[in-house]
Structure 1
Amino acid sequence: MNENTRRHFIKSSAIAFPALALQKGFAKKGSPNGRIRAGMIGAGGRAARLNRIFAAHPDVEIAAIADVDLRRLRPVAEVVGKMQGKKPQTMQDFRPIIDDPTIDVICVGTPDHWHAIPTILGCQAGKDVYVEKPDGHNIVEGQRMVEAMRKHKRIVQMGSQHRSTSRLQTAMQFCREGGVGRCLFAKGWESARQGGIGRPANGKPPAEVNYDLWLGPAPKRPFNQNRFHGRWRWFYDYGTGDLGNDGVHRIDMAFAMLNACLQWEKATTLHHPRTIHAAGGKWYYDDDQEFPDTMQVTYRYDSPTPRILTYDLKLWTPYRQMEETEGAVVYGDKAQLVIGNSGWKAIERGGKVIAQEGGNSDATPHIANFIDCVRSRKRPNCDLETVGHRASVLCHAGNLSARLDRSLRLNPKTETFENDEEANALRGRPEWRAPYVLPKV
């Protein structure tokens, strides 16, 4: 999208939504040698934590925060203002943040269906981007995000914070040094008693919420609390289920360690799988959720390095695998390495622990890595092109296989499904609701 097209998107939306008549720029100019000025898109849920981490970074000033829900926006802005000694600008619509030349980076902490558009517009406006996982709501959006990143030479970090934790980095190093041996099989899993969400009736959106903007590119629907805060991820219009929520972390950890083992073998590392098969469905909860609560996905990688990666999803059980509610494991001919939220351990035959390390899942190092890369222009730990998008495609493909109840064969170069028009139609949306169309790159 060229500059005129980008501005047309903003201008046309401003006609429909008077809130865009808010301040288009901020008085203070950004400086390449000063603090990095950030625009935060999202203030509730995960985004509330991201705002606090960015505000605590000594090299960052949060210049603006946008959220469609004023009930979430106001308290987070107060906290940020106290933390940094200066209250940020606030607004319901994020687009003035994109249009402000004094803002250097944006953080996209929105529901999945709002990941792609701000990221692409941010790249086109010359801003670096931290975007929560998965990269987009679907494969097409993720591809477009990567295209924008490449074309405009931006730093884009996806929010899989495990990539910046010492526990995953040391686990990968243990695999690279041959500690696990030759590995042909890896697995990620999620086991948690989430609870059902019921079937509430439609109602009216809260007065403090710009509901049309919240819907964005998704189809127009009546307001329903189940399709809003905290529960939107269970619906095809907005989310990617738990596979795209927690699963993207576990799959990425398993994938990263499997590739580390291949590096020790001096073998070709993995990119995309050739076949994806998901078995499962919504079998436990009787409620409005659309995504599976029970699922197993198998990803097969073909020659020159055939390997198997699997993912187990059981959202109704409190019972653990390998002492971890959620985690990943690689199986080698020397040892198996199990990693969870509190650390990892390598176990030999007979149960002897031969190496281990503790840790946590705090996102502070991940955001610090992003800020460092904004300065250095090096690829971040969860670079969108080489790491984040690949993990996201695994989640999207797994969800599609489960939704269609059949195996899919993926073309790793085009990220399309071979001989399957129905699956390819679901790689994106039937349409992105105007005026919230997916920008061209």
Structure 2
Amino acid sequence: MGIEPIEFPPSHSPPMNSLNRRQFGTLVAATAATTSLKPAWSQSPNEQLGVCIVGLNGRGGEHIRGFNKDPRTNITAIVDIDPGVAEKRADQIAELQGTRPAVYADVRKAIDVGGFDLLSCATPNHWHALIGIWAMQAGKDVYIEKPISHNIHEGRALVAAAKKYGRIFQTGTQCRSSDACVEAAKYIAEGGVGEVNFARGLCYKRRKSIGALGNYAIPEGVDFDLWSGPATFTEPKLTRQNFHYDWHWQRHYGNGDSGNQGPHQTDIARWGLGLNRHPEAILSYAGRLGYQAERKDPNYVDAGDTANTQVSIYDYGDKCMVFETRGLDVTESAGPEVDAMFGKGGGNKIGVIFYGSEGYVAQTQYDQCRVFDPDMKMVKEFKSRDVGDKHFANFLDAVQARDESMLNADAMTGHLSAAVAHLGNTSFYLGEDNKASVDEIEKAVSSIKSLDNDARTLEQTVAHLRSNHVDLEATPLSLGPLLKFDPETERYTNNEEANHWLTREYRAGFEVPDAENV
């Protein structure tokens, strides 16, 4: 199979996010629409919806904050493989809501015991799909962080499970609930900047090395076999220093920034372009570069194996999308449109630019979109507030009404946007050993139908790497193959090896079923 086994490392839990105490008071009475949802087990006089939160580090803290803030819910159970993290979070929740949730290490036990209506998941990516399927099979509504899947097979299975079991499924792409993004998408659809057939997603976000590849101890109390779950159990050892979070940069568990930050931006790009389908052709050039130069050690091997520099081109036939990842310092000009819309010079630049025949629309923050004229001068601005809270609230509104059409980011939305990452990464992984010169990459990108100036994008990517002292002769970029993809069958049509990356080999007891057998 395509996924090489890679491991984890030890760490103390990062400091817990500070959580505001719930402002207790009169709770909103349950509406008539919730009648069919009232849990017989509920101890609450207001019959709040019980929530189980799985995965309590990082985004898990935001799930705690979000569900605690909404008076319609009560956190009755939490699950985390790290007992130290779980107990700290349980104490926080007890202080916030006045009752302590049940604590579990194994999500299967939590589902078996029950006592909740909703399950929200912020675990590492390789667990997302299986947890979601198990929960929906048990009659729970589900909120899963992006990407909802580790591969395309898993995303399709989640879509099928939500339909089969009649469950409400929300994807954690919070920008779908941003008023600014809603207004910007409407503005584009109504022709505000003319015809728009191309969008560029940006993840210019500094990512430091995760440490040297090595053998590290498992954190005390962690069942690494259970943590591995659907992924191959690679023996009780880690190959990176930090157990939490840095799994993002090991492809056995995460999907790099293509699947971490990327689903936010590619989701917005699809939305603005009106693309509710997969692309027809994909090509990536990428690498994990620069850390040797930073450490002035040509033999240094970082423990991560996902790209920290990546350009993926997605051809949809009549439209096109490009997604760029830059994980090294951003210090130079990134091109006239990026400089004008995101600011010239250093710092993170995360968002989307839509290129119209009569101007541009740029999503520059989760809660901010701006319109620019053809001379790149801002002429209009859309803003929003409380984007994350609105996304949780939208999920709960749909749950109460039993109406999936109310969702801002349903399972299919999550599947299509996660697949963008999987498709781009597959091209990179297949071409990882194909080290190419800049001239060879320029020739290759000219072979894909694209509405971007791909040569200019490549030139700017090379300038970025060189500004970070990357020697592209000593450590060249990898050039992936041009992959043709059938959006209906979800199969590659010109590369059988690529089809192996549509799924993975699952361990007994942790198999993610196919869509026909969920």
Q: TM-score, normalised by structure 2?
A: 0.74
Matched, 1:235 2:250: yes
Corresponding residue for 2:314? 299
Q: Confirm or deny: 8 A CA contact 1:343 1:360 kept in the other structure.
A: no
Q: In the alignment, which of 141, 144, 164 is matched to residue 157 of structure 2?
A: 144
**In structure 2, C-alpha distance between the alignment counterparts of 1:120 and 1:32, rounded to whole Å:** 31
Q: Confirm or deny: 8 A CA contact 1:37 1:105 kept in the other structure.
A: yes
- Quick check: 405-414 or 213-222, which moved more? 213-222
Shift of 1:176: 2.2
Corresponding residue for 1:340? 364
CA separation of 1:243/1:32 partners in 2, compared to 1, >3 Å: closer, same or farther?
A: farther
Q: Deviations over 1:72-107 (max 9, x none)?
A: 111111111111111111111111222244321100
Q: Deviations over 1:231-279 (max 9, x none)?
A: 10111210011000001111111111111xxxxxxxxx54111001111
**In structure 1, C-alpha distance between the alignment counterparts of 2:375 and 2:322, rounded to whole Å:** 24
- Quick check: 281-290 or 330-339, which moved more? 281-290
**In structure 1, C-alpha distance between the alignment counterparts of 2:251 and 2:363, rounded to whole Å:** 30
**In structure 2, C-alpha distance between the alignment counterparts of 1:381 and 1:27, rounded to whole Å:** 29
Matches within 5 A, 1:256-405: 256-259=271-274, 269-286=275-292, 287-302=302-317, 306-319=318-331, 321=338, 322-323=341-342, 325-341=349-365, 342-359=367-384, 362-379=387-404, 380-385=407-412, 387-404=413-430, 405=480
Aligned-pair Cα RMSD in Å: 2.0
**In structure 2, C-alpha distance between the alignment counterparts of 1:33 and 1:370, rounded to whole Å:** 19
Structure 2 counterpart SS, 1:113: helix
Structure 2 counterpart SS, 1:228: coil
Task: Tell me which amino acid in the other structure corresponds to 2:373.
Answer: E
Matched, 1:205 2:218: yes
Corresponding residue for 2:262? 247
**In structure 2, C-alpha distance between the alignment counterparts of 1:297 and 1:223, rounded to whole Å:** 33
**In structure 2, C-alpha distance between the alignment counterparts of 1:390 and 1:31, rounded to whole Å:** 38
**In structure 2, C-alpha distance between the alignment counterparts of 1:277 and 1:31, rounded to whole Å:** 53
**In structure 1, C-alpha distance between the alignment counterparts of 2:141 and 2:375, rounded to whole Å:** 49
Structure 1: gaps of 5 or more residues: 1-25, 260-268
Corresponding residue for 1:17? none
**In structure 2, C-alpha distance between the alignment counterparts of 1:27 and 1:272, rounded to whole Å:** 42
Task: Tell me which amino acid in the other structure corresponds to 2:261.
Answer: D
Shift of 1:357: 2.0
Structure 2 counterpart SS, 1:372: helix
Q: Confirm or deny: 8 A CA contact 2:141 2:168 kept in the other structure.
A: yes
**In structure 1, C-alpha distance between the alignment counterparts of 2:421 and 2:194, rounded to whole Å:** 27
**In structure 2, C-alpha distance between the alignment counterparts of 1:141 and 1:420, rounded to whole Å:** 20
**In structure 2, C-alpha distance between the alignment counterparts of 1:360 and 1:249, rounded to whole Å:** 17
- Quick check: 199-208 or 228-237, which moved more? 199-208
Shift of 1:377: 2.2
**In structure 1, C-alpha distance between the alignment counterparts of 2:506 and 2:426, rounded to whole Å:** 19
Task: Tell me which amino acid in the other structure corresponds to 1:301.
Answer: Y
Q: Deviations over 1:204-251 (max 9, x none)?
A: 212221221111111122422447312101112100110000011111
- Quick check: 332-341 or 269-278, which moved more? 269-278
- Give the length in aligned residue pairs: 402
CA separation of 1:32/1:256 partners in 2, compared to 1, >3 Å: closer, same or farther?
A: farther
CA separation of 1:71/1:362 partners in 2, compared to 1, >3 Å: closer, same or farther?
A: farther
Matched, 1:171 2:184: yes
CA separation of 1:361/1:395 partners in 2, compared to 1, >3 Å: closer, same or farther?
A: farther
**In structure 1, C-alpha distance between the alignment counterparts of 2:77 and 2:276, rounded to whole Å:** 40
Matched, 1:423 2:442: no
Structure 2 counterpart SS, 1:71: helix
* Aligned-pair identity (%): 34
Matched, 1:432 2:506: yes
Shift of 1:308: 1.0
Task: Tell me which amino acid in the other structure corresponds to 1:391.
Answer: S
**In structure 1, C-alpha distance between the alignment counterparts of 2:166 and 2:291, rounded to whole Å:** 45
**In structure 2, C-alpha distance between the alignment counterparts of 1:288 and 1:277, rounded to whole Å:** 25
Structure 2: gaps of 5 or more residues: 1-38, 293-301, 344-348, 431-479
Corresponding residue for 1:11? none
Q: In the alignment, which of 57, 64, 68 is matched to residue 44 of structure 1?
A: 57
Q: Deviations over 1:305-328 (max 9, x none)?
A: x01111111110234633161110
Task: Tell me which amino acid in the other structure corresponds to 2:328.
Answer: W
Q: Confirm or deny: 8 A CA contact 1:136 1:142 kept in the other structure.
A: yes
Shift of 1:27: 9.6
Q: Confirm or deny: 8 A CA contact 1:192 1:316 kept in the other structure.
A: yes
Q: Deviations over 1:137-158 (max 9, x none)?
A: 1111111111111111111111
Q: Confirm or deny: 8 A CA contact 1:196 1:285 kept in the other structure.
A: yes
Q: Confirm or deny: 8 A CA contact 2:56 2:85 kept in the other structure.
A: yes
**In structure 2, C-alpha distance between the alignment counterparts of 1:137 and 1:30, rounded to whole Å:** 37
Corresponding residue for 2:457? none
- Quick check: 431-440 or 110-119, which moved more? 431-440
**In structure 2, C-alpha distance between the alignment counterparts of 1:103 and 1:32, rounded to whole Å:** 15
CA separation of 1:30/1:125 partners in 2, compared to 1, >3 Å: closer, same or farther?
A: farther
Task: Tell me which amino acid in the other structure corresponds to 2:420.
Answer: L
**In structure 2, C-alpha distance between the alignment counterparts of 1:233 and 1:101, rounded to whole Å:** 30
**In structure 1, C-alpha distance between the alignment counterparts of 2:376 and 2:496, rounded to whole Å:** 48
- Quick check: 75-84 or 391-400, which moved more? 75-84
Shift of 1:376: 1.2
The structure with the largest alpha-carbon Rg is 2
Q: Confirm or deny: 8 A CA contact 1:42 1:108 kept in the other structure.
A: yes
Q: Confirm or deny: 8 A CA contact 1:251 1:391 kept in the other structure.
A: yes
Q: Deviations over 1:322-361 (max 9, x none)?
A: 3161110111112200112151111112233221023467
Q: TM-score, normalised by structure 1?
A: 0.87
**In structure 2, C-alpha distance between the alignment counterparts of 1:349 and 1:69, rounded to whole Å:** 52
Q: Confirm or deny: 8 A CA contact 1:97 1:103 kept in the other structure.
A: no
